[in-house]
Amino acid sequence: MSDEIVATVSDMAKEIETIMAFFEDDVMSDYKDMLLVSQEYSGDAVKFQEKLNQIFTSFTEVYDATEELSVNINDISETMSESAIGLEDISKQSERIKEGSGVIKTSKETSNLSIDALKEVISVFSV
């Protein structure tokens, strides 16, 4: 019986050695490969985050530029509206000046007629 126990223990020792060799050769190798892959994933994640940050920064810059453009367009629109009001005022003043010029022209023509009539009256008195 003691030979059987020694033989059984010897067989168990061989099986344990086989299991340990499998663990060291296959399992540990697979774990090392998994570690390398996870490190690559980690590096890729960092690069991906950097790219996303760059894209976000670009979108922010585009948004800010669009906002500034919108403000500038509004300013131009207000300026054009003010200019239109100014042109309307100038047009109204020009119309008033035209009307005033017409009155002056009519008065001058009336004055010329009066001067001509006066000259006729004076010519009667001339020798």
- Residues of the chain falling short of pLDDT 70: 126-127
Domain assignment present for 106: no
- Interior angle at CA 8, CA 6 and CA 11, nearest 5: 110
- Please tell me the predicted confidence (pLDDT) of residue 127: 58
Give dist(CA 100, CA 112) in Å, integer: 18
Domain assignment present for 6: yes
Give dist(CA 102, CA 98) in Å, integer: 6
Domain assignment present for 34: yes
Torsion sign, CA atoms 78, 79, 83, 86: positive
- Please tell me the predicted confidence (pLDDT) of residue 79: 93
- Please tell me the predicted confidence (pLDDT) of residue 13: 87
Which tens digits make up the pLDDT trace of 69-100? 999 999 999 999 999 898 888 989 989 999 88
- Please tell me the predicted confidence (pLDDT) of residue 53: 96
Backbone angles phi, psi at 126, to 5 degrees: -85, 145
- Please tell me the predicted confidence (pLDDT) of residue 54: 96
Q: Residue 90 is part of which domain span?
A: 1-96
Domain assignment present for 107: no
Give dist(CA 48, CA 45) in Å, integer: 5
Give dist(CA 97, CA 55) in Å, integer: 62
- Please tell me the predicted confidence (pLDDT) of residue 11: 86
Domain assignment present for 105: no
Give dist(CA 1, CA 87) in Å, integer: 123
On whether the pTM is more than 0.75, the answer is no
Q: Which two tokens stand for residue 108?
A: 């001058």
